[in-house]
């Protein structure tokens, strides 16, 4: 469970990204929705302690503060919107293995875990490939594998279907449906959200507007008054 208690985040002393936001996230899959600039990504990254903030955030009772960040980041995996921000090694194998190697894990164990994760995501044929030469969908899967191989309890996903073609988008959705972890995703893809989530949190200008189950995504008035449109299936 994640408890967000009266959190405010201000950039450059003037830009209010999160504005006295209080909520609790405990559903298996939760979507944070809102128009561009609403604070979705900032709220996600604040959970792993990437911003100075007023108020507090607790992850399973552990407060997000400097002395606890190592513990929290072992429990919470973060997937960037742009996989190029997450992939920096020469090969797919090295990228997936990076976190495990950094922990000093035995190379045989690393190899076993990386190959098992690659097989799970059906990217084992890519392990020797250069990351820079992959498609957008392949990069997204490799970045996801690098997070999942660390076995986090909670996944934070920032626009996980951004930049993907329809086939790659469906593949990512099917993989996310199969995962045992709790998932919190920030997204504009309301059709994907309707497929995946148990709970929806709507924010606007850094403030909590409302939260509820996925039927909120069928409420045209609420969505349009906060700069969003109905999922395509309901238009």
CATH number of the domain encompassing residue 196: 3.40.50.300
10: pLDDT strictly greater than 80: yes
Q: Which domain holds residue 128?
A: 2-234
How many domains are there within the chain? 1
- Report the 10 Å Cβ neighbour count for 77: 23
pLDDT band at 162 (very low <50, low <70, confident <90, very high): confident
Q: Report the pLDDT value the prediction gives residue 13, as an integer from 0 to 100.
A: 83
Strand ranges for the chain from DSSP E: 2-11, 15-25, 29-33, 54-59, 62-63, 76-79, 154-158, 182-186, 199-204, 207-212
Interval 59-76 mean pLDDT: 94
Instruction: Read off the tokens for 96.
Output: 């997936």
Alpha helices in 13-135 (DSSP H): 40-47, 69-75, 92-102, 107-120
Are the C-beta atoms of residues 121 and 62 closer than 8 Å to each other?
no
Q: Report the pLDDT value the prediction gives residue 134, as an integer from 0 to 100.
A: 92
Q: Report the pLDDT value the prediction gives residue 68, as an integer from 0 to 100.
A: 96
94: pLDDT strictly greater than 90: yes
Least confident segment among 5-19, 21-35, 117-131, 164-178? 164-178
Interval 117-135 mean pLDDT: 93
């Amino acid at each position: 469970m994640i408890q967000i208690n009266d959190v405010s985040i201000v950039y450059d002393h003037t830009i209010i990204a999160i504005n006295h936001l209080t909520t609790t996230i405990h559903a298996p899959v939760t979507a944070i929705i809102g128009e561009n600039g609403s604070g979705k990504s900032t709220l996600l990254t604040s959970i792993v302690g990437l911003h100075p903030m007023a108020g507090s955030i607790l992850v399973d009772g552990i407060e997000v503060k400097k002395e606890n960040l190592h513990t929290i980041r072992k429990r919470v995996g973060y997937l960037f919107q742009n996989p190029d921000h997450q992939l920096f090694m020469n090969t797919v194998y090295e990228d997936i293995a990076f976190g495990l190697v950094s922990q000093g894990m035995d190379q045989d164990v690393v190899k076993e875990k990386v190959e098992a994760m690659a097989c799970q995501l059906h990217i084992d044929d890519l392990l020797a490939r250069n990351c820079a030469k992959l498609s957008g969908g392949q990069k997204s899967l490799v970045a996801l594998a690098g997070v999942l191989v660390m076995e986090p309890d909670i996944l934070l996903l920032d626009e996980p279907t951004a930049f993907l073609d329809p086939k790659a988008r469906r593949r990512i959705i099917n993989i996310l449906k199969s995962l045992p972890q709790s998932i919190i995703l920030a997204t504009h893809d309301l059709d994907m959200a309707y497929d995946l989530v148990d709970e929806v949190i709507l924010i606007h200008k850094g403030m909590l507007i409302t939260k509820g189950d996925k039927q909120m995504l069928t409420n045209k008035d609420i969505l349009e008054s906060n700069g969003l449109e109905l999922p395509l299936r309901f238009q």
